Amino acid sequence: MSTTTAGVIFILSLLAALAVAYRYLGDYLFRVVAAERHGRVERGIYRALGVDPDAEQSWGVYARSVLAFSLVSILGLYAFLRLQDLVFRVPDFAASIDERVFPHLAWNTAVSFVTNTNWQAYSGESTMTHLVQMAGLAVQNFVSAAVGIAVAVALVRGFARRKSERLGNFWVDLTRITLRILLPIAAVAAVLLIVGGVVQNLTDGTAATTLTGAQQHLTGGPVASQEAIKELGTNGGGFYNVNSAHPFENPNAWTDWLEIFLLTVIPFALPRVFGRMVKDNRQGYAILAVMAIIAVAGVALTNVFELQHAGTVPQAVGAALEGKDVRFGVSNSATFAAATTLTSTGAVNSFHDSYTALGGMMPIVNMMLGEVAPGGVGSGLYGMLIIAVITVFVAGLMVGRTPEYLGKKIGAREIKFASMYFLITPALVLIGVAAAMATGNWSTQLNVGPHGFSEVVYAFTSAANNNGSAFAGITVNTPWWDTALGLAMLLGRFLPLIFVLGLAGSLARQAPVPASAGTLPTHKPLFIGMVVGVVVILVALTFLPALALGPLAEGL
C-alpha cells in the first residue's frame, strides 16, 4: 500500500470513529449536563465545597465562579511549582528549584495550564518532579477542560431557555463533567496507552548500559495517566520535552491514532449536545458540518504540502522528514499537526518548525481560524456559536431584517459581545508580535529570515488562542517572553469567556420569537456555507499581512 493511500485511510478511519462518537458520546454528554438529579457522591462533594447544587446562577455569578476557581488555581499551581522540591523529590534533579523553575517560568506555566493552553517553556524531564506533574499540572488538565465545557453548556442554555436569568450552576457543571465524563474516559484511555507501551510508574526509571557501552537513563514517571487527559482535554502539555513524539508518550502508530481520536472526540461530539439542548438535532448537524468541512480541508492541505516536500532542504533530503519519527511517517505526522491545531490541544508528534514553509503555515492558519473546527473542549463550540451569531448578523444586514438565531434576536447588545469575543484574540496576537519585533525580543529565534518571523507569529498565535504548540526553535524561557505569553494566554482565555457568558445571559433573558417566512434557516447548506465563509474571510482579512511576511514569503 502506498504512503498516500495509507494516509487517506488513516484519516477516513478517524472520521468514521468520530461520526459514531458524535451520536453516542454526544447523547451521553447531553444526559450528563442536562440531568435533573444529583448522584449521592456528588451531593457529598457539594456539601464539602459548601455550595447549593440547586441554586442556579445568573451569568455574572457564573462568570465570577469561573474566575474565582481559575484565580485560585493559578495561585495554587504557582506555589506548587515553586515548592515542588519539598516533598517526594523524584527525579532528584541536580539543579535547585531557583536554577530550574524561575518565578517567571512558574507564572507562565501556571497560567498556561489553568487556561487549557499548556504552552511549555520548560523541558519536563529536566525540570518537573513526578509529583508536580501529576498533582499539579495534570489536575489542571482535567479541570481547565471541564471549565471550557461548562462555559459552552452555559451558552447553549442561553439559547435554549426563555425569559430566564439563570444559566446553571458552575460548581455542578464542573463536578459532573469531571466525574462523569473526563475521569472515566481518561482512565480507560490511560490503560490502553499502557498496553501500547506508554510508561506509568513513580520511579526515576532505569539506568542502562547500551550495546556499545554508553550509559543511557531510561526515564520513568506517571506518563500514561497524564497523556490520556492531555489529549482528551485538548490540553497538550507533554510529560517530556518532545511531547507526543517521545516513544514513552506515543510508542507506535496505533497509539498515535488513539491520541488523535482522543483530542478530537469531545469537541466533535459537543454540537450534538447543542442540538439536543435546543431541541433540534438539525442545528447540531449544521454546526458539525461547518467544523468538519474546515477540519477536513485543514488536514488534507497539511498532508498535501508535507508530502510534496517543497523547499531547499526537503528537496535535498527527498522528503519532509526532519523532525518526524519513522514509525509515524510523514502523512500521520501531518494529520496529527493539523488535528492538534484545529483543536486547542497543542500536543505534537513531530516538530512544526521543520515542516515545509506551507506545511508549517497550516498549523498557524488552523489556530488563527480561532480554533473552532472543532476547537478545544467547550471553547470550540462556544467559538463556533459566536461565529454563527456573527453570520446571522451579516446575513440580516444583507436583507435588512433584525437577525435572529434559534428564535433569539441578535440585537446591539448581543452583537457587541460577539464582536468583542472575535476581536480580542487577533488583537492579542498582532500586538504581541509587534511588541516582540519592536523591543528586540524576536532575537531569541533559532531560524533566520521569514522563518524566524514565523516563529514569533506562531508563539503569539498559539498563546492567545490557548493552543500551546510551537515553532519550537525560538527560546521563550526569558523574563520578557514568559511574561508576555503568559498575559496573552490569560487574556486570550478569560476575556472571551466573560463575553460568552455575557452573551448567554442576554440570550437567556429573551422570549423566543416565532420563526417566520423571513427567518434564515440555520440548519440548511446555505447557512453552513455562509458560516464557513465568515470564518475564512474574517481570518484572511485579519492575518494575511502577518502570514505574507512569514510562511508565504518563505514558501512562494
Nearest CB to other proteins, comparing residues 44 and 518 = 44
Nearest CB to other proteins, comparing residues 31 and 217 = 217
Window 421-480: residues binding other proteins (CB under 8 A): 446-451, 454, 471-473
CB 119 within 8 A of CB 470: yes
Provide, rounded to whole angstroms, the least separation between the CB of residue 358 and other proteins. Answer: 10
CB 197 within 8 A of CB 247: yes
CA–CA separation, 70 vs 164, rounded Å? Answer: 26
Site string for other proteins, 256-275 (x = CB under 8 A): xx------------------
Window 298-327: residues binding other proteins (CB under 8 A): 310-327
Torsion of Cα atoms, 421 then 424 then 429 then 434, to 10°: 160
- Should residue 219 be labelled a site residue for other proteins when binding is judged by CB under 8 A? yes
Nearest CB to other proteins, comparing residues 351 and 421 = 351
- Should residue 61 be labelled a site residue for other proteins when binding is judged by CB under 8 A? yes
- Should residue 173 be labelled a site residue for other proteins when binding is judged by CB under 8 A? no
Nearest CB to other proteins, comparing residues 65 and 465 = 65
- Should residue 247 be labelled a site residue for other proteins when binding is judged by CB under 8 A? yes
Nearest CB to other proteins, comparing residues 125 and 371 = 125
Handedness of CA 223, 228, 233, 236 (dihedral sign): positive
Provide, rounded to whole angstroms, the least separation between the CB of residue 493 and other proteins. Answer: 16
Nearest CB to other proteins, comparing residues 76 and 407 = 76
Q: Site for other proteins (CB under 8 A): which residue of 34, 51, 296, 297?
A: 51
Q: Which amino acid is at 226?
A: Q
Nearest CB to other proteins, comparing residues 318 and 514 = 318
- Should residue 253 be labelled a site residue for other proteins when binding is judged by CB under 8 A? yes
- Should residue 407 be labelled a site residue for other proteins when binding is judged by CB under 8 A? no
Total number of residues that touch other proteins (CB under 8 A): 126
Nearest CB to other proteins, comparing residues 61 and 415 = 61
3-class secondary structure per residue, 283-312: HHHHHHHHHHHHHHHHHHHHHHHHHHCCCH
Burial of residue 56 (CB within 10 Å: 0-12, 13-18, 19+) is middle
CA–CA separation, 280 vs 152, rounded Å? Answer: 17
Provide, rounded to whole angstroms, the least separation between the CB of residue 482 and other proteins. Answer: 19
List beta partners, residue 209.
215
Rama region for 198: left / alpha / beta (φ>0; ψ in -120 to 50; rest): beta
The pairing of beta strand 215-218 with beta strand 206-209:
antiparallel
Sequence length of the chain is 556
Phi, psi of 218 (to 5 degrees): -85, 110
CA–CA separation, 13 vs 154, rounded Å? Answer: 32
- Should residue 248 be labelled a site residue for other proteins when binding is judged by CB under 8 A? yes
CA–CA separation, 292 vs 282, rounded Å? Answer: 15
Nearest CB to other proteins, comparing residues 216 and 402 = 216
Site string for other proteins, 471-510 (x = CB under 8 A): xxx-------------------------------------
CA–CA separation, 226 vs 241, rounded Å? Answer: 14
- Should residue 208 be labelled a site residue for other proteins when binding is judged by CB under 8 A? yes
Q: Site for other proteins (CB under 8 A): which residue of 154, 186, 429, 507?
A: 186
CA–CA separation, 434 vs 456, rounded Å? Answer: 9
Q: Per the omega criterion (within 30 degrees of 0), is the bond before 374 cis? A: yes
- Should residue 204 be labelled a site residue for other proteins when binding is judged by CB under 8 A? no
Q: Site for other proteins (CB under 8 A): which residue of 351, 382, 499, 527?
A: 351
- Should residue 55 be labelled a site residue for other proteins when binding is judged by CB under 8 A? no
- Should residue 187 be labelled a site residue for other proteins when binding is judged by CB under 8 A? yes
Window 104-133: residues binding other proteins (CB under 8 A): 123, 125-126
CB 271 within 8 A of CB 26: yes
Q: Which amino acid is at 206?
A: T
CB 270 within 8 A of CB 380: yes
Please tell me what DSSP assigns to residue 107. Answer: H
- Should residue 353 be labelled a site residue for other proteins when binding is judged by CB under 8 A? yes
Site string for other proteins, 365-384 (x = CB under 8 A): --------------------
Nearest CB to other proteins, comparing residues 246 and 272 = 246
Nearest CB to other proteins, comparing residues 142 and 499 = 142
